[in-house]
Structure 1
Amino acid sequence: MHLGRPTRGLLAAITGLTLAVIYLPLVVVLINSFSSSTSLSWPPPGFTLEWWVRTANSAGARDAVVTSVGVALASTVIALVLGTLVAIALQRYDFFGRSTVNLLVILPIALPGIVTGIALNNFFRTIAGVPLSIWTVVVAHATFCIVTVFNNAVARLRRTGTRLEEASADLGAGGWTTFRLVTFPQLRSALLAGGLLAFALSFDEIIVTTFTAGSGVTTLPIFILNNMFRPNQAPVVAVIAVVLVVVSVVPIYLAQRLSAADVDRR
């Protein structure tokens, strides 16, 4: 499609404005993490590394990071297993209610986080009788992390087709052997990309976490929320926010690179 110069200029201006609205606040947070002011006044009166040192020496911040990483890893493992199995079942087999199951698997990512959080809180406390803990957070995160793995796996299964799997079966391989030697190698990069996205989603989730975490569970986003309005804690919160952005962006970037590389190979 050929676009005239005025149209290209308008699209470039709209794109630039949109990116500025999204990323300029992040740049401000980054600069404020080095500000010498405790109230994050703008422009910063000076710059210092004190807040980064203080954050690194904060036992609460370190514990929050460890908790967030642990929850994200556990949620990602669950999502990889269940998301892969559901994707294979829905893509390779025809059964009654398949479309409904497909909708129910994808639905958690479309629901508002507060709805999911309230529903899971009620389920854990009133129906299942399970006390809120770090494990309820893991289960809650896995409900929406499954979607990212599922979508990646389904897309890959649709592109690869069933010819190699059928050839494997014709040669006498069983179901497990076919999955291990044929299906899984084709899914490997898609599952890695889905797992990275799932980790990023879980690591910075706060709404669902707030409703499903016990009183002693503090993830990094909850730590930020608890300290945001405390006196002299604003610079520390800015530092943690920068760390949260970096840890979230890296898996997403790697997942995007993996997907792009796979498309280029094809």
Structure 2
Amino acid sequence: MNLSRPARLLLRLALAAGLAVIYVPLAVVLLNSVNADRTFGWPPAGLTLRWWGAAWASSGVREALWTSVRAGLGATAIALVLGTMAAFAVQRHRFFGRQAVSLVIILPIALPGIVTGIALNNAFRTVLEPFGVGLGLFTVVVGHATFCVVTVYNNVLARLRRTGIGLEEASADLGAGPFTTFRLVTFPLIRSALLAGGLLAFALSFDEIIVTTFTAGAGVRTLPIWIFENLFRPNQAPVVNVVAAALIVASLIPVYLAQRLSSDVGTH
């Protein structure tokens, strides 16, 4: 499609404005993490890494970080198993209600977080508490897995649709059993899709706060919850900016890797 010069200029300005809305606030957070002024005066009076040292020395930050990592790894592990199984069931088999199953799997990512959080909170209190299992890290992992499954499911489903079943049928024709075929043929084909889905699932879990608030209980504090609790405490403001800046940088890694892995789908 050929656009006139004014139209191209308008599109570029719109793109620049959209990117500015997204990334300028992130740049401010990064700059404030090294701002020597505790009140974040503008322009910065100087630059310092003092707040980064203070953040690392904070036991609350380290404990919250470790909790987020454990919750993310647990939710990702569940998502990899359930998402992969669901993708194979929907793509490789024909059964009544197949589209409905696909919709049910994808729905949690579309629901507002507060709706999911309230529903999970009620379910956990009704089902688990009579057995002596209260809200804690386990319920956080289960809560995060409900929407992390979607990322793995979508990635694996897309890969299965592109690869087809020709190579698997050829493997079976040559005498390989189901497990041998999966190990030598199917798994190598979906490996990068699994890794991409797992990275996105971990990133989603690591940054989640709404569902976590309803499923964590009083004794579990993830890093996003720690940030929210300390956001308006004057003495903690510099440390909060450092933690937020670290999260911004850390979030780029799984998202970038997932994007690169997903872009390689067509090469297999």
Indicate the TM-score class for this superposition, using the shorter chain for normalisation.
over 0.9
Q: Give 1:66's aligned residue.
A: 66
Q: Give 1:150's aligned residue.
A: 153
Q: Give 1:126's aligned residue.
A: 126
Say if 2:87 and 2:156, in contact at 8 Å, map to a contact too. yes
> Which structure 2 residue ranges, 5 or more long, are not aligned?
none
Say if 1:149 and 1:194, in contact at 8 Å, map to a contact too. yes
Say if 1:84 and 1:149, in contact at 8 Å, map to a contact too. yes
Q: Distance in 2 between matches of 1:22 and 1:66?
A: 28
Q: Distance in 2 between matches of 1:184 and 1:155?
A: 14
Q: Does 1:199 align with 2:202?
A: yes
Measured after TM superposition, the shift of residue 182 of structure 1 is: 1.4
Q: Distance in 2 between matches of 1:46 and 1:62?
A: 27
- The residue identity in structure 1 corresponding to 2:84 is T
Q: Give 2:39's aligned residue.
A: 39
Say if 1:71 and 1:202, in contact at 8 Å, map to a contact too. yes
Q: Give 1:19's aligned residue.
A: 19
Q: Give 1:236's aligned residue.
A: 239
- Residue 140 (structure 2) aligned to one of 137, 141, 151: 137
> Could you say what secondary structure the match of 2:264 adopts?
helix
Q: Distance in 1 between matches of 2:261 and 2:224?
A: 27
> Could you say what secondary structure the match of 2:235 adopts?
coil
The Cα offsets for residues 78-119 of structure 1, whole Å up to 9 and x where unpaired, read as: 111110010001000011111111000000000011111110
The Cα offsets for residues 236-256 of structure 1, whole Å up to 9 and x where unpaired, read as: 100000111112121000111
Counterparts of 1:247-266 in structure 2 under 5 Å?
A: 247-263=250-266, 265=267
Q: Distance in 1 between matches of 2:35 and 2:219?
A: 31
> Which structure 1 residue ranges, 5 or more long, are not aligned?
none
- Residue 183 (structure 2) aligned to one of 166, 180, 183: 180
- The residue identity in structure 2 corresponding to 1:244 is L
Q: Give 2:211's aligned residue.
A: 208
Q: Give 1:165's aligned residue.
A: 168
The alignment's TM-score, normalised by the length of structure 1, stands at: 0.96
Q: Give 1:87's aligned residue.
A: 87
Q: Distance in 2 between matches of 1:123 and 1:247?
A: 33
Say if 1:40 and 1:234, in contact at 8 Å, map to a contact too. no
The Cα offsets for residues 47-89 of structure 1, whole Å up to 9 and x where unpaired, read as: 2221111001111111111111111111111111110010001
- The residue identity in structure 1 corresponding to 2:207 is D
Which deviates the most, 175-184 or 56-65?
175-184
Q: Distance in 2 between matches of 1:246 and 1:142?
A: 24
- The residue identity in structure 1 corresponding to 2:116 is T
The alignment's TM-score, normalised by the length of structure 2, stands at: 0.95
Runs of 4+ with deviation above 4 angstroms: none
Cα RMSD for the two superposed structures = 1.2
Q: Distance in 1 between matches of 2:235 and 2:14?
A: 38
The Cα offsets for residues 198-224 of structure 1, whole Å up to 9 and x where unpaired, read as: 111111111110110021111110010
> Could you say what secondary structure the match of 2:46 adopts?
coil
Say if 1:38 and 1:233, in contact at 8 Å, map to a contact too. no
Q: Distance in 2 between matches of 1:64 and 1:128?
A: 24
In the comparison of the two structures, how many residue pairs are matched? 265
Q: Distance in 2 between matches of 1:97 and 1:136?
A: 29
Say if 2:159 and 2:265, in contact at 8 Å, map to a contact too. no
